[in-house]
Amino acid sequence: METIRDKKFTEIYSHILGEIERGSVDRKHGFHLLNFSTYDEESGYPDSRIVVLRKLIKNNFTLRFHTDLRSKKIAHLQKNFKSFLLFYNQKSKLQIRIKCDSQLLSDEKSKKDTWDKSQEISRRCYYVPKAPSSVIDKPILNDDLDVEDKNLGYKVFSIIEAKVVELDILELNYSGHVRVKMEVQNGDLISSRWIMP
């Protein structure tokens, strides 16, 4: 098995960027789904959910995922942009824990382009008339959704950008687990050190 043990820190950094990029384009890759956590000030608890990794912008190490503007995670981010990402790839035995600063993408053109390119099945998630987490009488059926209101989907479609500030990488290995901590600033690797697994 390929290991990060013998790599230089800069090589590990490039490797991680490469793996995350693969996760953004390959639905079968172990990093295609990730755990995104925000802080819920109201309850005082952290809140986590699975999201699909849609894009990696390598030069400033920013990850993108799509969500409903009305969802809790957006409300959480508007109060506290500090957030957390968690990946685990069972095949490569690689866990990546990421401190990040997240915000809504404000570039309307980029948002529109993404929407226009998205598949109908993905768009359907945004035609739900009520906000995620709303209490409802019974579970919804897609057949009941009003997909005629073409604006509804786009109105609530939003893109979250999570900018990486710290990486904690753990590789499980029979000969000894390997763990690295890295600080990142605008996509540049600022510091790296081995730490106890």
Ligand X SMILES: Cc1cc2nc3c(=O)[nH]c(=O)nc-3n(C[C@H](O)[C@H](O)[C@H](O)COP(=O)(O)O)c2cc1C
Q: Which residues bind ligand X (CB under 6 A)?
A: 33, 47, 49-52, 65-68, 71-73, 132-133
List CB contacts of 73: < 8 A, sequence separation 6 or more.
36, 38, 47, 49, 67, 160
Q: Which is nearer to ligand X, 51 or 169 (CB)?
A: 51
Residue 47 or 101: the one with the smaller Cβ distance to ligand X is 47
Q: CB atoms < 10 A from the CB of 88, how many? A: 17
CB of 113 to ligand X, least distance (A): 18
Evaluate whether 65 touches 54 at the Cβ level (below 8 Å): yes
Do β-strands 94-104 and 82-89 pair in parallel, antiparallel, or remain unpaired? antiparallel
Q: Which is nearer to ligand X, 132 or 187 (CB)?
A: 132
Q: Measured from the CB atom, is 50 or 196 closer to ligand X?
A: 50
Shortest distance in whole angstroms from residue 109 CB to ligand X: 21
Strand segments, DSSP code E, in 129-172 are 157-171
Distance CA 108, CA 119 (A): 19
To ligand X, the closest distance from the beta carbon of 2 in angstroms equals: 27
- Residue 76 CB, shortest distance to ligand X, in Å, is 8
